[in-house]
Amino acid sequence: MKRRSFIALATSAPIGLALSAENQEAVVFATKLNEAKEAWHGKTEDVESGVFVSTDGNLRLEVSLIGKNEHIEEKSVETEDGVETIYVYNGERLPRWVHPQDGVIKQFRFFWDNGEIPIEKRFWNDFGGCRIGQTTVSKESIPDDLMIEFEDFLGNLDGPKVILSADGGTALIHWRIIDMDACCGHRADVRWIISRSGAVMRHRHTTPSAC
């Protein structure tokens, strides 16, 4: 064998072996991650209430949805378009386009530095499609090499996200809900911007559904 060819083989072999080991390690980690994600999703369920806190701890949102077993009055009323079904919950009529089992908010309490800022019902009781996801997996059970992926998993659970602005002057609540006007579980984004003085703005956005 020529000396130049021998040197080339001698120098390239360890690199090839190293890459093979790295690839094998990546495959092992990917398998571990997929199995972990499957286990996490298996321990996730939809619930009817939750408490959501901003990362800095200054903001807290307590929300609950009308439960499946709660008493709902169903009535038929005459309208210009004919007979229409309406729903009454806790003595109050729900908006005509809202079905009580479609993920309707019944409580929406917002706190800033432990002081409650009342949010009028008109900002949160006129739509459905809200979901709250919860997992029984604890952070203490997650190994260090999967913690980043687990944090992403928690961040993608259904439910509102509560965020304090960089200057500390406003709060943002973002809830990615199911668009009940769409035909195939299309998502819509609802955002509330709240000031310390209690001023509230709400914005709802949805993108065209492919179905």
The tens digit of pLDDT for each residue in 160-208 reads 999 999 999 999 999 999 887 666 668 899 999 999 999 999 999 876 6
Q: What is the per-residue pLDDT across 122-133, written as a single tens digit (0 to 9) for each?
A: 999 888 899 999
Burial of 191 (0-12, 13-18, 19+ CB in 10 A): middle
- Say which residue the tokens 């109050």 belong to: 92
State if pTM tops 0.85: no
Residue ranges of the chain with pLDDT lower than 70?
1-19, 181-185, 207-211
Reading the block at residue 23, the tokens are: 């690839």
pLDDT given for residue 8 in this prediction: 46
Reading the block at residue 156, the tokens are: 């993608």
Amino acid at 33: L
